[in-house]
Amino acid sequence: MKIVKFLLILVCIYTASLQSLIADDAKMKKGLEIFNETAGCAGCHALKAAGAEGNVGPNLDTVDLTIESVVEMVTYGLGVMPAYGEEEILTKEEIEIVSYFVANSAGK
Ligand code: HEC
């Protein structure tokens, strides 16, 4: 019986990680769409993974980013960079998704 329990636990772990992989993939796709279309980040920023070549703001492939730092920047803006959160241009969820995409694709 012990081995059955063990196998069941393994199956659970496997499905859970598979589901989160699929979710991550969907987030990357959605993030790309927000970056290039919904929010127009690409108009100002270069980011190889998005095929973006904007040069108003910093090249995002060359700066050190975390999801949290991108969320902060996109929410509150700075100088020419719009405050997408404060001005309600993007929802909290969209900001989270686009930041996930940027932080995970910068420099790749
Ligand atoms: C109108 C042009 C413009 C748009 C659109 C824009 N940005 Fe920016 N962004 C800037 C500028 C300019 C800065 C530099 C701000 C400063 O340091 O004064 C910046 C800074 C940043 C930084 C910080 C980079 C660093 O040096 O650490 C991140 C991250 C960022 N932008 C992400 C985004 C994302 C994601 C979007 C889309 C949701 C976006 N930006 C849309 C102009 C823009």
Q: How far is the CA of 100 from the centre of ligand 1 (A)?
A: 15
Is residue 65 within 6 Å of ligand 1 at its C-beta? yes
Give pTM, 2 decimals: 0.89
The CATH number covering residue 99 comes to 1.10.760.10
Is residue 8 within 6 Å of ligand 1 at its C-beta? no
Mutate to test the pocket of ligand 1, among 32, 35, 45, 90 (most ligand atoms within 8 A of CB): 45
**Distant-in-sequence, close-in-space partners of 23: CB < 8 Å, separation ≥ 6:** none
Q: How far is the CA of 21 from the centre of ligand 1 (A)?
A: 28
If phi over 0 gives left and psi between -120 and 50 gives alpha, with beta otherwise, what is residue 91? Answer: beta
For the chain, the domain total comes to 1
Beta bridge partners of 78: 81
Alpha-carbon distance 75 to 4, whole Å? Answer: 49
What confidence tens digit (pLDDT) does each residue in 14-60 have? 888 888 888 899 999 999 999 999 999 999 999 999 999 999 999 99
Mean of pLDDT values over 2-21: 84
Domain range for residue 75? 2-105
Which pair of structure tokens corresponds to residue 29?
A: 């796709």
What confidence tens digit (pLDDT) does each residue in 54-90 have? 999 999 999 999 999 999 999 999 999 999 999 999 9
